[in-house]
Chains A and B, each alone.
Chain A
Amino acid sequence: MSRSISSQHGEIVLADNELIVSKTCLKGKITYANRRFMSIAGFSEQQLLHQPHNLIRHPDMPKAVYRLMWKTLQSDQEFFGFVKNLCSDGRYYWVFANVTPDIDERGHTRGYYSVRRKAPESAIRLIAELYQQMVAIEAAGGGRLAIDQSVAHLQSWLNQNRLDYFPAMLRLYRHGQL
């Protein structure tokens, strides 16, 4: 079974058939992490449980993406996105994340369920460039306004490609290009 390959630049690449699974409560604290999550992130179950999920957030990730994620989840919709995550030893790994609300028998949202899959390399190149610009915008401004500008930049990028966010992400994941 092929496991992750660690590149010399500190990137860990997922195998094709691997799933990273985690669950959080409504506040974003981890309630479950599968073994692949622990092995790739380099944390034990004890270190992860009841910790905020942003424990593995990489500084290269734009805040605007997380804002979009929370907005989507709060309207009971699923979220898609390419995410660069941080390992405990400073290395990183790219994933294509799918986050959905966990809904119990009575229809109440109990938490969130996140499945992460291997992201295609060509898609990562495109997205990394976009994220870099967004992070730069956020760093230049600061506060909510900068995140608004970053969201606007994402929107204009989508407009250029004449696609909405979710179809664009799905297409990138499935075909590796827009």
Chain B
Amino acid sequence: MPYKSVSRSIPFLRTQYVTGTVICYAIIGMTFVYSTLRYGLDIWHVVGGVLVAVLMGLQIFQSLRLVETLKRIEYALKMSSRGELHHRISSTKGLGELGQVAWALNDLLDRVESYFKEVDTCFRLVAKGNFDRHPLGAGLPGRMGDSLEAIDSSVMAMKDNVKLINRNELASSLHRLNTENLIRNLKQTQNDLIRIDEDAREFGTQARSNAEAAQKNLRDVETIRTAIDDITGTVQEVADVVGILSRDSDQIVGSLLTIKEIADQTGLLALNASIEAARAGETGKGFAVVADEVKALSRRTKVTAESVDQIMASFSQRVENVSQIAEHSNEVTQGMSAMVEDFENQFNSLAESSERSVQQVDTASAVIYNSLVKLDHVIYKQNGYVALDGGCDEHHEKCAAIAVDHTQCRMGRWYYEGMGHQQFGHMSAYRQLEQPHAAVHTSVQEALRLSEQDWEGSQELREQIVAQMQLAESASEEVMLRINQLTEERTLESKGPSPLPRRVA
């Protein structure tokens, strides 16, 4: 390479100065020796020679300082090109133009070093997720300042990006948490509704069979009424017959008296006839009279006997009638008795099924109310998620809803003042419900409080928010469990053996 060999063949400044100086001193010396030999020792030659030599010495000293400073500049530049920007050139006083060059280089290095330090520090912190160390561009002119400004706006864009990513990350963690739990909550509500539906169906069937039974009862009552009317008629008939019988008996008694009288008279006449017959001894006229009287008496007796015979026949007929009526009455009574028994059975089963219906309605209403309480609780959590997503400025109402403490929400009022306390206060699940319910409130409130800080820039804060919501979810799960237990216990109580008095009214 010709350029390099040419450059190498030319001596360095220092060599040039030293060589030049040696040559100059040699010329001065030789001039001094020659003039002394030729013209003799002259004071002016001596003084002039010394002066020139001293001046030459000063010249060479400055020249060597220049060279030395140039070497330092070269070193600083060499180190700078190796990336060490902290070298500077000091102590250049009296070196004039070269001093100015040195200071210009120092100023350049000051700015370049400052520029790189700003960029380094800024990016080192950005790599650690800290976007708040803005590069400081003051005092860095032109391209350097512009470059720092461009870096600053890039870092800001990165920060926005990271914020967005972080926001998405939190939103997605919360969303995942929410979806999982919301589905579980909805499933619970669905199960509650399925249960209510089943109860309602059973209740419907029961009510229908009750209605049918009641219809049947109504028809039976109609039949019973007719039967009773029938019985009443029959009894009246029997009374009539008995009246007639009674009159017939009177007649029989009268007839019998007459017969008795006739018998008495016949007996007396017979006695008289026998006496007359005995006295006369002769068949006389008196016997004939007695015989006529006996004849007439026997006729009357015959007539009377016939009359009794007729009465007896009629009496027998009446008795026959009475017997028939009594038999009919008996049949009617037997039918009625069976009907009444049936009727009683139906009424019993109606009463039982009514009792069951009442229990089902009772259970269903407990399930429905507990479901409502659970739903309110789920809505509380949902408010939390919505508020976390957009902040309180955007969701003012949600935040107000979340600020309510665990004694003042619907569940709280149900628990401390309302139905909950009255109906479930004696159960162990009721006491175990309080703590997790309070925890749901405090956790959601704490998550919201954390979300007011700079969570977009802090991984730790985001994790804390998700952790608080997780606490809320697990507490909420326990709340659901306890309410389900309350419902179960309540159902068991209402299905318990009926002779025992129910603990819950």
Contacts and interface: CB of A to CB of B under 8 A. Distances in A.
Partners in one complex: yes
Nearest to A34: B110
B478 interface: no
A110 B138 contact: no
B83 interface: yes
Interface stretch (B65-73, B128-136, B328-336): B128-136
B82 A105 contact: yes
Interface stretch (B87-95, B229-237, B264-272): B87-95
Given A23-B86, A100-B121, A115 B134 contact: no
Given A21-B114, A34-B107, A115-B114, A16 B88 contact: no
Contact of A105 (B84, B106, B140): B84
A19 B110 CA distance: 9
Interface in B415-467: none
Given A102-B86, A104-B84, A16 B117 contact: no
A165 interface: no
Contact of A117 (B113, B121, B136, B141): B136
A17 B140 CA distance: 7
Interface string A22-60: 010000000110110000000001100100000000000
Contacts of A19: 110-111, 114, 138-140
A21 B110 contact: yes
B103 interface: yes
Contacts of B133: 166, 170
Interface residues of A, number: 30
Contacts of B90: 31-32, 45, 49
Contacts of A118: 138
Contacts of A78: 117, 121
**What interface size band does chain B fall in?**
20 to 34
Nearest to B110: A21
A155 interface: no
Interface in B385-439: none
A98 interface: yes
Contacts of A71: none
A117 B138 contact: yes
A78 B125 CA distance: 11
Contacts of B140: 19
Contacts of B82: 105
A40 to B, nearest CB: 14
Contacts of B91: 45, 49
Interface string A60-102: 0000000000000000001000000000000000000010101
Interface string B59-85: 000000000000000000000001110
A167 B106 CA distance: 31
B134 A170 contact: yes
A121 interface: no
Interface string A1-20: 00000000000000011110
A115 B139 contact: yes
A176 interface: no
B138 A34 contact: no
A23 B103 CA distance: 15
A125 interface: no
A63 B93 CA distance: 35
Most A CB contacts (10 A, CB to CB) among B84, B117, B139 go to: B139
Given A21-B110, A34-B107, A113 B136 contact: no
Contacts of B86: 23, 102, 104, 110-111, 113
Given A78-B121, A113-B113, A167-B132, A18 B139 contact: yes
B88 A23 contact: yes
Contact of A98 (B111, B136, B141): B136
A144 interface: no
A45 B93 contact: yes
Contacts of A105: 82-84
A23 B141 CA distance: 21
Contact of A35 (B103, B139, B141): B103
Given A23-B86, A100-B121, A17 B138 contact: yes
Contacts of B121: 78, 100
A85 B84 CA distance: 29
Interface string B18-58: 00000000000000000000000000000000000000000
Contacts of A100: 117, 121
Q: Which 10 A-B pairs have the closest CB atoms?
A: A19-B139, A21-B110, A32-B88, A102-B86, A117-B138, A115-B114, A100-B117, A17-B139, A78-B121, A167-B132
Interface of A: 16-19, 21, 23, 31-32, 34-35, 45-46, 49, 78, 98, 100, 102, 104-105, 110-111, 113, 115, 117-118, 166-167, 170, 173-174
Given A34-B110, A49-B91, 16 more contacts: A17-B139, A19-B114, A19-B139, A21-B110, A32-B106, A45-B90, A98-B136, A100-B121, A102-B86, A105-B82, A110-B86, A115-B110, A115-B114, A118-B138, A166-B133, A167-B132
5 contacts: A17-B139, A23-B86, A34-B107, A104-B84, A170-B132
